[in-house]
Amino acid sequence: MARVVSTDTARDAIGRMQQIINSGLSQEIQNLEREGQLLSDPNNWDGGLAVQFRADIWPQTKTALDNAVTQLGALQQKVSQINTDIMNAGGN
């Protein structure tokens, strides 16, 4: 039989991880996306390097930010489910 443990330390870490995700990290990523969109508008920012930003840098960065938000949500759900499963198996 595999060892099943969820200490107070682990449960506290899970709570802090969820708090970090819920209390602003996703919002800050959305804030970055908003600012990137503003800089992508040639009416706001233009020139050779600004065109490069719009065409190359920002699309790649936005994709990475979107993926990060998705992965953070998945992480939160997985950690919570794993801990619930451990606790149900008698891991306290």
Listed by start position, the domains of the chain span 25-88
| Predicted TM-score (pTM) of this structure | 0.77
Taking only the tens place, the pLDDT of each residue in 63-91 is 999 999 899 889 989 998 998 888 888 75
Residue 7 has pLDDT above 90, yes or no: no
Tokens of 10: 């682990």
Taking only the tens place, the pLDDT of each residue in 9-56 is 998 999 898 888 888 888 899 899 999 999 999 999 999 999 999 999
